């Protein structure tokens, strides 16, 4: 992974060169629509407070849990015994990005959503709250983390979510044999090049003709930047949007022009 200094430099370059969606630079109806109706939607939805209460509880929880390590996932914590609040502070998507994912689900109304890397289920809760008619499948390997996520889903009242416990290597093929097609996915598990590309290819094989795939931390390391570049160059990918902390991939054969956007958020 990059050092804090390298990341800060990259972020500054992103911030000052990214488009803000106004004026020139956004010649894609999909991206213009996304910026106008999703990215810039400043409304405060009811679920924001409900879910953030749970995040705050986790950030104060001093319980020590056993955590299996599945590879590059967290920038901060390494040992197998971890404190809940330390994970809650370092590994979860921030409210800003988790709420953006909520608005994406609300706006695009996908039928089947897949999340790789549940952790405590905070982002999952946002995904599931975006559209009660969507079915969310979320995968987590660390057993005690998964148990806390399930508890949180019950606390928030999430009913359209199935939590699959175990290594992605086992849970994904089993899931794909039951649910063949997904139209929305958030990949936030193993932040390495080869696994990321492997998940991308699996998702492509199991996506509808129109799908939105979101990859976490695309600038976190040179490996993740290489994975992001390979995804952008894939022939099935039409539009991509780089928001620095996440990368959004649009699969849509109706869109003929391949375009990549870097948008400030
Ligand atoms: C960064 S956290 C997910 C955060 C969550 N999406 C959020 O925003 O709240 C990544 C999670 O993926 C899990 N994970 C990573 N690789 C895995 C694998 N191969 N199989 C199962 N779980 C895995 C880790 O245990 C960890 O809890």
pLDDT tens by residue, 177-213:
999 999 999 999 989 999 999 999 999 999 988 999 9
Across 96-119, average pLDDT: 98
Residue nearest to atom 12 of ligand 1 (CA): 117
Cα 141 to averaged position of ligand 1 atoms, centre (Å): 7
Confidence tier at 263 by pLDDT (50, 70, 90) = very high
Pocket test for ligand 1, best of 69, 73, 172 (most atoms within 8 A of CB): 73
What residue numbers bound the domain in which 101 lies? 4-262
Using pLDDT thresholds of 50, 70 and 90, give the confidence band for residue 1: confident
Three-class HEC string of the chain: CCCHHHHHHHHHHHHHHCECCCCCCCCCHHHHHHHHHHHCCCCCCHHHHHHHHHHHHHHCCCCEEECCCCCCCCCCCCCCEEEHHHHHHHCCCCHHHHHHHHHHHHHHCCCEEEEECCCCCHHHHHHHHHCCCCEEEEEECCHHHHHHHHHHHHHHCCCCEEEEECCHHHHHHHHHHHCCCEEEEEECCCCCHHHHHHHHHHHHHCEEEEEEEEEECCCCCHHHHHHHHHHHHCCCCCEEEECCCEEEEEEECCCCCCEEEEECC
Mean pLDDT of 49-66: 98
Q: Which residue has the least CA distance to atom 21 on ligand 1?
A: 141
CATH assignment at residue 78:
3.40.50.150
Q: Cα-atom radius of gyration of the chain, to the nearest Å? A: 18
- Name residues contacting ligand 1 (CB within 6 A): 70-71, 73, 91-93, 117, 119, 122-123, 139-142, 145, 167-168, 188-190
Q: Which of 72, 98, 140 should be mutated for ligand 1, with most atoms under 8 A from CB?
A: 140
Mutation choice for ligand 1 from 118, 153, 221, CB with most ligand atoms inside 8 A:
118
pLDDT of residue 74: 47
Can you tell me the distance from the alpha carbon of 174 to that of 168, in angstroms, rounded to the nearest whole number?
A: 9
Domains contained in the chain, number: 1
Q: How confident is the model at residue 71 (pLDDT cuts 50, 70, 90)?
A: low
Atom 15 of ligand 1, residue of closest alpha carbon:
189
pTM for this prediction:
0.95
* Closest ligand 1 atom, residue 68 Cα: 25
Q: Residue of the nearest CA to atom 11 in ligand 1?
A: 117
Q: What is the pLDDT of residue 76?
A: 44
| Model pLDDT, residue 125 | 98
> Residue 22: pLDDT above 90?
no
**What pLDDT does 194 receive?**
95
CA of 119 to the centre of ligand 1 (A): 5
Average pLDDT over residues 146-162: 98
Distance 232 CA to ligand 1 centre (A): 23
Q: How confident is the model at residue 75 (pLDDT cuts 50, 70, 90)?
A: very low
Taken as a whole, the chain contains a residue count of 265
């Amino acid at each position: 992974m990059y050092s804090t200094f390298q990341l800060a430099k990259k972020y500054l370059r992103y911030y000052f060169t990214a488009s803000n969606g106004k004026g020139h630079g956004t010649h894609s109806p999909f991206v213009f629509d996304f910026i106008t109706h999703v990215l810039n939607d400043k409304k405060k939805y009811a679920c924001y407070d409900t879910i953030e209460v749970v995040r705050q509880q986790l950030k104060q929880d001093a319980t020590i849990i056993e955590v299996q390590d599945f590879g590059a996932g967290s920038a901060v914590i390494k040992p197998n015994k971890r404190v809940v609040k330390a994970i809650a502070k370092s590994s979860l998507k921030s409210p800003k990005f988790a709420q953006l994912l909520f608005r994406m689900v609300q706006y695009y109304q996908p039928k089947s959503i897949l999340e790789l890397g549940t952790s405590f289920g905070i982002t999952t809760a946002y995904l599931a709250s975006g559209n009660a008619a969507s079915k969310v499948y979320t995968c987590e390997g660390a057993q005690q983390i998964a148990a806390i996520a399930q508890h949180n889903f019950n606390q928030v009242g999430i009913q359209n979510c199935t939590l699959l416990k175990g290594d992605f290597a086992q849970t994904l093929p089993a899931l794909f044999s039951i649910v063949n097609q997904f139209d929305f996915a958030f990949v936030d598990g193993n932040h390495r090049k080869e696994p990321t590309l492997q998940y991308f290819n699996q998702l492509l094989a199991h996506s509808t003709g129109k799908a939105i795939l979101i990859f976490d931390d695309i600038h976190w390391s040179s490996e993740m930047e290489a994975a992001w570049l390979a995804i952008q160059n894939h022939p099935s990918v039409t539009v991509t949007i780089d928001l620095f902390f996440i990368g959004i991939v649009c699969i849509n054969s109706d869109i003929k022009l391949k375009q990549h956007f870097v948008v400030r958020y």
